[in-house]
Amino acid sequence: MIETDILIIGAGPTGLFTVFEAGLLKLKCHLIDSLPQAGGQCSEIYPKKPIYDIPAYPDILAGELTDKLMEQIAPFKPGFTLGESAVTVDKHEDGSFIVTTNRGTKHKAPIVAIAGGLGVFEPRKPPVENLSNFEDKGVEYIIKDPEFYRGKDVVISGGGDSALDWAYFLANGVANKVSLVHRRNSFRGHLDSVQKVMDMADNGKLNLITEAEVVGVKGEDNLKELVIKHKTQGEILVTTDHWIPLFGLSPKLGPIADWGLNISKNSIEVDTFDYSTNIEGMYAIGDVNTYPGKLKLILCGFHEATLMVQSAFARIHPDKKNVLKYTTVNGVSGF
């Protein structure tokens, strides 16, 4: 069991800056994030895009902002549970929260700060009827272990780098047969990835089906056949053991929606006094919350985090005196 003072759900800019403000008050933090790296949207969606509204930075790349925040919070030695998403919350008998991830990692803290942004990044699922019946029975949205496909017939859908790279990898002596289905006849993604796949298709090592989409899944218990609709040839049936649709990730509020929080329009309602939710000891900051006048800006997330930790301090140490200190006067002393 991981124990900390403030358990932060979401390691985007708001979650990361919370560590700093909490650290100034001698509160320890641990962060959970479904992504394998810190930074949230900044690192996952737009690391190479400039941001122009961070005070004192005329412009800064989103990836760079993440790096700077990591550097800023380093003295406070935050803990990270990355690549796992917070699924359930329970109350411990001492009043603190126990948050468990999808992999069963347990975290205990008196304060939970939800800085979940847009939510958990999940694979985007194509709109195909009965698809859910075959999930993990031949349909997988993520390749966890390529060895799983050894000797199997595999169909991959998508036109981006991950579709190209996995098609190339699996066709290179892993799977028995690999088909790549793509809506257009040109591919985005790195030129050399595209070229490698094209070469394989030319050599007959990979079956390239372009201007086509998978529109149906068939089978009994497990997936057996895909219905592929081709722009000119109409519908064709392809026998396969696996179908791996790779259409990128999109964020969902996810299991947090079932925690008993007041939610409106996919956001958590908070009191702007301290960004507390309707559950005592649980706060929501950054893009995940809503209140009259809310603006989804990193800048506002920083402000919310700062006020939130003051309230969290009072809750953890009801009898301890606290006064706002200036870092310029006192410096930053880590743990």
Using CB under 8 A, pick the residue from 92, 103, 184, 190 that binds other proteins: 184
216 burial type by CB count under 10 A (0-12 exposed, 13-18 middle, 19+ buried): middle
What does the alpha-carbon distance between residue 211 and residue 229 come to, in Å, rounded to a whole number? 9
Number of C-beta neighbours around residue 117 at 10 A: 26
Q: Is 91 an interacting residue with respect to other proteins (CB under 8 A)? A: no
Kindly indicate which of the ranges 25-33, 97-105, 171-179, 182-190 contains the residues binding other proteins, using the contact rule CB under 8 A: 182-190
Q: Is 13 an interacting residue with respect to other proteins (CB under 8 A)? A: no
Q: Is 216 an interacting residue with respect to other proteins (CB under 8 A)? A: no
How is residue 172 written in tokens? 């290179």
Residues that contact other proteins, how many (by CB under 8 A): 20
Kindly indicate which of the ranges 4-12, 152-160, 234-242, 308-316 contains the residues binding other proteins, using the contact rule CB under 8 A: 152-160
Smallest separation (angstroms) from other proteins to the CB of 254: 13
Q: Is 127 an interacting residue with respect to other proteins (CB under 8 A)? A: yes
Element (H or E) spanning 69, and its range?
helix 62-73
Q: Name which of 49 and 91 has its Cβ closer to other proteins.
A: 49
Q: Is 148 an interacting residue with respect to other proteins (CB under 8 A)? A: no
Strands, E assignment, 95-222 = 97-101, 106-109, 111-114, 120-123, 153-157, 177-182, 207-210, 212-219
Q: Is 46 an interacting residue with respect to other proteins (CB under 8 A)? A: yes
Three-class DSSP category at 196: helix
Q: Is 190 an interacting residue with respect to other proteins (CB under 8 A)? A: no
Q: Is 260 an interacting residue with respect to other proteins (CB under 8 A)? A: no
Q: Is 79 an interacting residue with respect to other proteins (CB under 8 A)? A: no
Number of C-beta neighbours around residue 12 at 10 A: 29
Q: Is 247 an interacting residue with respect to other proteins (CB under 8 A)? A: yes
